Structure 1
Amino acid sequence: MTLSVTQRIELSPSSSCNTKLADDPWAFDLQPGYGPGSSEADPIPDATTRPGQLPQAYQEMSQQQLHERIRRAKATLAEKLVILGHFYQRDEVVQHADFLGDSYQLAKAALSKPEAEHIVFCGVHFMAETADILSEEHQQVILPNLAAGCSMADMADEDSVEAAWEDICEVYGVDPEHVEPGADGKLPILPVTYMNSSAALKAFCGRHGGIVCTSSNATTVLEWAFERAHRVLFFPDQHLGRNTAKAMGVPLEQMPMWNPRRTLGGNTAEDLQQAKVLLWHGFCSVHKRFNVRQIEKAREEYPGCRVIVHPESPMPVVDAADAAGSTDAIRKYVAASSPGDVIAIGTEINLVNRLTSEYPDRTIFCLDPVICPCSTMYRIHPGYLAWVLDEIVEGRTPNQIIVPEDVAEPARVALDRMLAAAPK
């Protein structure tokens, strides 16, 4: 029997997850924090957009009524509308998506429908920002629930990264506004931001010769960066940066952590001179929960089982697993398996449960017995989707995501580099 997310949490009283997961997300719209299902260890952001609550009529509709409204609005808008859905979205939302994928795939999908006037992004805020940056001038990008943010993205803000960049450039003896190549033609350092970051940080990378990466193309991106620079400042996810660089042969002693709350990030100038990758002190609260003991337990209970984890997981977990890869890579790994196989997966539960349903002839389960879903992805509910689509039909544009052009222009440079760096 496959337990639902809610059932798993109810059976785990020692959970460190917010056990209000079963509550409707609009009950949390005006409250601080990341909402139902979040890790209680997640820091509360200082400035998270707090929208008004979902209109009462949509809160009271049945699932059937909401789905009927969504289908009717989609039929009315036809080619003028495209709905993008991330793999981590709940099934009730995924069923209405025109494109389903990871952040890299959805960034490309946003480019493939130039005729669509409305791009409704069922994901989180930084994804909708990216879609707006890459979209055509006549297109409007809409996020069904503005409270769908990302705790990892909030761990690296523009002011902290700018301050770190100034300190780092001072150590290397270069002008932070105009970092020039040395005699060998390479820059002393180049910034790389993970897709899970604000448009402002993507713009920072664009202004400083840097690039954006996803979990799909992180290796290609780091290769690109090392061709141009001796070092990389990688933010905000330390684990993706460490796991990717380690697989490329970069020694751990050349990957110091940069803690923005400490002088020189908690390092010495000598540490920074010897560094190859400077890792920002950030992480995903879902993937940080996976540990080696969970893998050992899975292998004890299912001898011969295979384990695949997301590279946002801690390095010991990635090292102990049989494979690591993006959400799309995990999906392909399961698709390539055989009936009867047992696969333990270390990633967000909505994707794991979907794979369990798609492959009933295999035993597929999540490594973590206490499920913390991506709480901000969970903020997108059919109620919000039905509401924004009805508004669009009526000629209104709710929850539009607009990135100012002075930010969008340099961010687009970094994103274009990302899109050119195809995953291996």
Structure 2
Amino acid sequence: MSATFLTLQPRPGDEIDPSVDHGIQAIVSGASTAETCNTDLAAGPWDFDARPGYGPGSSMGDVIPTGAPRQGELPAEYRAASEDELHARIRAAKAALGERVVVLGHFYQREEVVTHADYVGDSFQLANAALEHPDAEAIVFCGVHFMAETADLLSRPEQAVILPNLAAGCSMADMASIDDVEECWEQLEDIYGDLTAPDADGLVPVVPVTYMNSSAAIKGFVGRHGGIVCTSSNARTVLEWAFARGRRVLFFPDQHLGRNTAKAMGVPLAQMPMWNPRKPLGGSSADELDGARVILWHGFCSVHRRFTVDQIDKARAEHPDVRVIVHPECPMAVVDAADEAGSTDYIRKAIAAASEPTTFAIGTEINLVQRLAAQFPQHKIFCLDPVVCPCSTMYRIHPGYLAWVLERLVAGEVVNRITVPADVADPARVALERMLAAKP
């Protein structure tokens, strides 16, 4: 399939619908011949709130941890409301609240949610955007759980950070639990000795580095153990910071970002063993770990794991002049086959900077790709994966939940507040501050 409902370029005078949900509804109704990974995506996410799991979409096959947050039942009036009614209620609630609330929307959110956001960006951009509103009583974060936690870490104590749907977690973040990471650290101590003791060159045996896409507990662990947080846009700078302080880096939870970044810095693949928390010594030998430069956690993003070299080859065959840009969370072979790799913000800026009409094949979440296609109609922009399969957990945020939390605020009630305990928050902030200080 070379073109789908969601990637087909418009005829002159037509516009691209930026809504992935509209495209999925058309697929399920038979109005589109495109393909989706799960027809349940056409249902309201409240149909899945009471069930364990990440819901339909890219992460539906991932195993959710026991005790993961679940969302209580959304009142029937929001489940039954039409799209137009929900939009009207959200606008009315925001108008009533004024500057008392700021709504943040991640790049991967549904168009029906992003349209109401005061700021749109990646997780760290949005956390910083919250800082620009110190007088707001509430920050409504339309994203996933770890993002709301980061906003809580960086906001003032009296500000309430709200996640519209508590079931909006992140399967990749869940792949590095605090218990597994602490067990890994203990096993590394058995191999390397005192992990706080520098050698003759002043380097400690291991420096932990966590991707922003991790829980507050993991960020706190990193802060307590001399480590640092990174984003997809500054991972190289952060690894340079870590190598200046340690012989090795323990990088989690995303193996692909760690591998792609370290490989670009000249670290041989043989010096990047994988740590699988389900295996003794992570599945490596003591000798392999002794010779390691980067120990990669066995984690991944199910959205970006869907992209393949075959998809790139097909895009090039059908569009010889195509410019392929993928996210560094994609597997190494995909990054190597692409023309460029970069963060969501990098992808957005690269398209915006193209002065001549260009064909772009993009390897990242479909909501962003479709929005970019609508925003820049002078270009032909399509997702490498022809199957419409949004991020399962981002898709759990629906206008019905946004209307609910905003109207509860109008009524004087805070629901779905995300709070990070002080014993976790303090060291987590240290790790974030180190990241902010590590400038390219």
TM range (shorter): over 0.9
Query: Percent of counterpart pairs with the same letter?
Result: 67
Which residue, 186, 192, 201 being the options, matches 2:209?
192
Which residue, 342, 357, 373 being the options, matches 1:340?
357
Q: Superposition pairs for residues 73-112 of structure 1, below 5 Å?
A: 73-112=93-132
- Amino acid paired to 2:184: A
Alignment check: 8 A CA contact 1:192 1:232 kept:
yes
- Amino acid paired to 1:31: R
Over aligned residue pairs, what C-alpha RMSD do you find? 1.5
- Amino acid paired to 1:145: N
Q: Superposition pairs for residues 184-333 of structure 1, below 5 Å?
A: 184-333=201-350
CA distance in 1, matches of 2:102, 2:91: 13
1:19 counterpart residue number: 39
2:57 counterpart residue number: 37
Give the count of matched residue pairs: 418
Residues 353 and 75 (structure 1), Cα distance of their counterparts in 2 relative to 1, 3 Å cut: same
Alignment check: 8 A CA contact 1:192 1:205 kept:
yes
- Amino acid paired to 2:54: Y
Q: Superposition pairs for residues 324-403 of structure 1, below 5 Å?
A: 324-403=341-420
Alignment check: 8 A CA contact 1:305 1:341 kept:
yes
User: Deviation of residue 39 (structure 1)?
Assistant: 4.0
Runs of 4+ in 1 over 6 A off after TM superposition: none
1:70 counterpart residue number: 90
Alignment check: 8 A CA contact 1:18 1:39 kept:
no
TM (norm. structure 2) is 0.92
CA distance in 2, matches of 1:8, 1:168: 50
Alignment check: 8 A CA contact 2:254 2:329 kept:
yes
CA distance in 1, matches of 2:413, 2:235: 38
User: Deviation of residue 392 (structure 1)?
Assistant: 0.7
- Amino acid paired to 1:78: G
CA distance in 2, matches of 1:127, 1:271: 34
CA distance in 2, matches of 1:417, 1:200: 17
User: Deviation of residue 321 (structure 1)?
Assistant: 0.3
CA distance in 1, matches of 2:434, 2:404: 35
SS in 2 for 1:188: strand
User: Deviation of residue 8 (structure 1)?
Assistant: 6.1
Alignment check: 8 A CA contact 2:53 2:60 kept:
no
SS in 2 for 1:21: helix
2:423 counterpart residue number: 406
TM (norm. structure 1) is 0.96
Alignment check: 8 A CA contact 1:8 1:370 kept:
no
User: Deviation of residue 78 (structure 1)?
Assistant: 1.3
Structure 1 gaps, min length 5: none
Alignment check: 8 A CA contact 2:5 2:34 kept:
no
CA distance in 1, matches of 2:63, 2:356: 42
Further displaced range: 74-83 or 316-325: 74-83
CA distance in 2, matches of 1:266, 1:75: 55
User: Deviation of residue 339 (structure 1)?
Assistant: 4.0
CA distance in 2, matches of 1:76, 1:393: 7
- Amino acid paired to 1:111: L
- Amino acid paired to 1:180: A
Which residue, 34, 40, 47 being the options, matches 2:67?
47
